[in-house]
Amino acid sequence: MPPLTAQQLERFDRQGYLFFPNLLDPERDLKPIIEEYHGVLDQLAAEMYAKEEISSQYEELPFEQRLIKIYQETGKVQAQYFDFHLPPHQTKKDTPGWWGPAVFNALRNDKILDVIESLIGGEIYSNPIQHVRMKPPEHLTPIDPKTGLPQIAATPWHQDNGVGTPEVDNTEMITVWFPLKDATVENGCLEILPGSHRQGLLVHCPTGKKNKLAGLGIPEDQFPVDEMMPMPMKAGGALVFGRRLIHGSLANKSNEVRWSFDLRYNPVGQATGRDSLPGFIARSRKNPSSGLRDWRAWRQMWHDCRERLAEHPVATYNRWNAEDPVCA
């Protein structure tokens, strides 16, 4: 992909984001990921069936319906089984996760890295704050008995460097968000507040009085919520934004799973915000051989990390306090 134009760079500086309606090819870039996750779901179904947690493996169902059925019958959203991230203080030696070749190739996709290079230069680090999101319809999602909320719901409004340690505040972290299937307003696409990155980092409140959703979120009285802009996009589209852009996701009110990746990158040598987790050099123009090319080595890094976290958990990545005056 050619470098970003001066106009695109000016827009990113002014608005805090860029939208690419056709950055990725659904057949070449997305289909291998989808096919790989079909295999992951096969493994999950077989494992749950062997434990007698489900009455059938539901092999006759399409992927999304099968996923929802397993979630419903087990009473649990099995999101960690598919994710390529680990929870800091809840990781055990048998905590599941998926670090397969198609996911690794997505992290190193040249079209994505070309955009990132135009924004932060040619020394690119794959930041470990990364996720796959398979968000089922809220009305079909198991409820968390502690909160009374769906176990996966709308994502609170936040800034990405607000969910990392303070060391990440000076990191030029870039997020790349893209759907595996079309993302719509009905099934819970992202919403963003253009230009909000210029406000600086805002206080993020834990779930509670000012944030009714699960996770950290910026209280709605701290920014103009009515100016939030939905970002529906077709599969192949991608949204690229900086670390301080306010964003979140809508509730999934459809009958389908909203499926997306959110990946992050920063210049080599800068703090990742979760330094207990493994990242890697995705591209280096100065020293090309330093880039990681073996997905098995990447997977082993996460397996080793899982062993460490199981024995030496990180208390939290959360720097925010519910007693902050903004949250009270």
Fold of 6-311: Jelly Rolls (2.60.120)
pLDDT of residue 13: 97
pLDDT of residue 210: 63
pLDDT of residue 56: 97
Q: For the chain, which residues score pLDDT lower than 50?
A: none
pLDDT of residue 211: 67
Angle (nearest 5°) at CA 132 between 238 and 212? 95
Tally of residues, the chain: 328
Q: What is the SS3 assignment for 307? A: helix
Full-model pTM: 0.95
Tens of pLDDT along 104-156?
Answer: 999 999 999 999 999 999 999 999 999 999 999 999 999 888 777 788 888 89
The pairs formed by 138-141 with CB atoms below 8 angstroms and a separation of 24 or more are 138/251, 138/252, 138/253, 139/253, 140/68, 140/71, 140/72, 140/255, 141/71, 141/77
pLDDT of residue 320: 86
Return the domain boundaries, the chain: 6-311
Residue (of 2, 249, 270) closest to 135 by Cα position: 249
Residue (of 251, 66, 67) closest to 149 by Cα position: 251
Tens of pLDDT along 55-78?
Answer: 999 999 999 999 999 999 999 999
Distance CA 128, CA 148 (A): 30
* Amino acid sitting at position 31: K
Q: Token pair for residue 292?
A: 């990681």
User: Which residues touch 88 (CB under 8 Å, ≥6 apart)?
Assistant: 274, 276, 309, 313, 314, 315, 316, 317
pLDDT of residue 212: 67
Q: Token pair for residue 127?
A: 């930041």
126 bridge partner residues: 265, 280
